[in-house]
């Protein structure tokens, strides 16, 4: 082997894997991104910019060696299947989904394209993975806590309104796989208080749900995060004030002056972390061989504006344990 041949042979050990990827593929890597809620300013910061930040840290620059095609259903669940099909026609190298509904639509849309599902509750229960450690199919991702985090929100609600005789949960059945019947039995046993379910798939259900809560004597409400509650969070915050209903939510961007608190996984951290999984797939690892990760960063936010408006004194223990207090 002459000197030139020896130098060429050494290139794979000297050149960055990202540069090698660009040389082998011969084009920019293409990512499709599917989400149900509108990508407004808060979600742009928490989701889009966090994802881009994570990718930049790994050497991926949009327009240089990667492109991202974003598709949002603007809060309309029925638009998701057509948007998934639209993304598939662009022939991306992989698909990223945000939140459970988009992941479930992607599951129906493809069995072969690699998918990184971010902020899903339980990928095994949702049918996205055989196990967390060995997903086995075309999905991997970063999971949020499902029933465990709802249990914690109920505990926070109990601390905020210790005299409540009944608690309620407002949720979208389209976004909760398997329903809540079974876990509610355990939560009731743990907290020693009845818990009532209230379903809402659109804002048309809000007035009826709050009227039912009043009839049922609900003294505190946990609102589960989904596109419906996010898109119409201002209206729901107003209803909480009008009905004088203390509430705990699933994300700090849902707190608009009428919601008392939020306890949720750190969304920006999860989307930054998802860039690592994208990187592995683009370098050739099969998604089924990449373990689903579990969010390990949780955030408690207390909104004292709502507490004052509702005449509630937030226990000092909660204020001291909060990651952020909105004054």
pTM of this structure: 0.86
Q: Are residues 221 and 287 in the same domain?
A: no
Mean of per-residue pLDDT scores for the chain: 90
- My answer on whether 201 and 56 are in the same domain is no
- 303 and 292 in a single domain? The answer is no
Whether the pLDDT of residue 133 is over 80: the answer is yes
* CATH number, position 82: 3.40.50.2300
Position 56 in a domain = yes
| Structural domain boundaries enclosing 194 | 147-265+299-326
Check: CB of residue 151 under 8 Å from CB of residue 190. Answer: yes
The token pair that represents 43 in the structure block: 């979600």
Note whether residue 311 is domain-resident. yes
Residue 211 has pLDDT above 80, yes or no: yes
- Banded model confidence at residue 265, pLDDT cuts 50, 70, 90: confident
> Quick check: is 285 in a domain?
yes
Residue 19 lies in a domain: no
pLDDT digits (tens, 9 = 90+) for 157-207: 999 999 999 999 999 998 887 789 989 999 999 999 999 999 999 999 999
Predicted confidence at residue 179, as pLDDT, reads 82
Region of 61 (left: φ > 0; alpha: ψ -120 to 50; beta: rest) is: beta
Question: Is 130 in the same domain as 278?
Answer: yes
138: in domain = yes
* 3-state secondary structure (DSSP) of residue 202: coil
Count how many domains the chain has: 2
Residue 7 lies in a domain: no
Residue in the structure block whose two tokens are 């394209």? 113
Matching residue, tokens 């042979």: 9
Give me the count of residues in the chain: 327
- Pick the residue with more confidence: 218 or 10? 218
Whether residues 189 and 315 fall in one domain: yes
* Claim to verify: residue 41 and residue 117 sit in the same structural domain: yes
| Structural contact between residues 196 and 225, judged by C-beta atoms closer than 8 angstroms | no
Handedness of CA 35, 37, 40, 44 (dihedral sign): negative
Average pLDDT over residues 282-287: 97
The dihedral built from the CA positions of residue 319, 322, 323 and 324, taken in this order, carries a sign that is negative
| Residue at 280 is within a domain | yes
Q: 298 exposed, middle or buried (CB, 10 Å; 0-12, 13-18, 19+)?
A: middle
Q: Within 13 Å of residue 162, how many CA atoms lie on the same side as its CB?
A: 4
> Is 55 a residue whose pLDDT tops 60?
yes
166 and 70 within one domain? no
Q: What percent of the chain is modeled with pLDDT above 90?
A: 81
The residue-averaged pLDDT of 308-315 equals 96
């Amino acid at each position: 082997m002459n000197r030139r041949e020896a130098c060429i042979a050494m290139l794979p050990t000297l050149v960055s894997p990202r540069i090698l990827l660009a040389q082998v593929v011969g084009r920019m890597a293409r990512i499709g991104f599917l989400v149900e809620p509108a990508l407004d300013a808060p979600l742009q910061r928490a989701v889009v910019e966090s994802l881009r930040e994570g990718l930049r840290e790994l050497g991926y620059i949009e327009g240089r060696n990667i492109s991202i095609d974003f598709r949002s259903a603007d809060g309309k669940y029925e638009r998701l299947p057509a948007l998934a099909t639209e993304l598939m026609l662009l022939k991306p190298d992989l698909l990223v989904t945000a939140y459970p509904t988009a992941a479930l639509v992607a599951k129906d849309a493809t069995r072969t394209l690699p998918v990184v599902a971010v902020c899903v509750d339980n990928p095994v229960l949702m049918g996205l993975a055989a196990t967390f450690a060995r997903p086995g199919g075309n999905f991997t991702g970063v999971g949020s806590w499902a029933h465990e985090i709802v249990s914690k929100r109920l505990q926070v609600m109990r601390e905020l309104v210790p005299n409540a005789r009944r608690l309620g949960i407002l949720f979208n059945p389209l976004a909760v796989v398997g329903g809540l019947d079974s876990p509610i039995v355990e939560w009731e046993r743990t907290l020693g208080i009845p818990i009532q379910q209230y379903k809402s798939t659109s804002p048309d259900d809000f007035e009826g749900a709050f009227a039912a809560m009043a009839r049922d004597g609900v003294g505190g409400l946990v609102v589960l995060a989904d596109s419906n509650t996010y898109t119409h969070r201002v209206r729901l915050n107003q209803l909480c004030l009008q009905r004088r209903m203390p509430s705990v939510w699933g994300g700090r961007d849902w707190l608009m002056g009428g919601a008392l608190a939020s306890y949720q996984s750190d969304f920006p951290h999860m989307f930054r972390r998802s860039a690592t999984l994208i990187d592995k797939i683009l370098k050739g690892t099969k998604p089924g061989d990449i373990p689903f990760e579990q969010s390990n960063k949780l955030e408690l936010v207390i909104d004292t504006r709502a507490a004052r408006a509702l005449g509630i004194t937030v226990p000092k223990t909660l204020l001291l344990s909060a990651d952020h207090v909105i004054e």
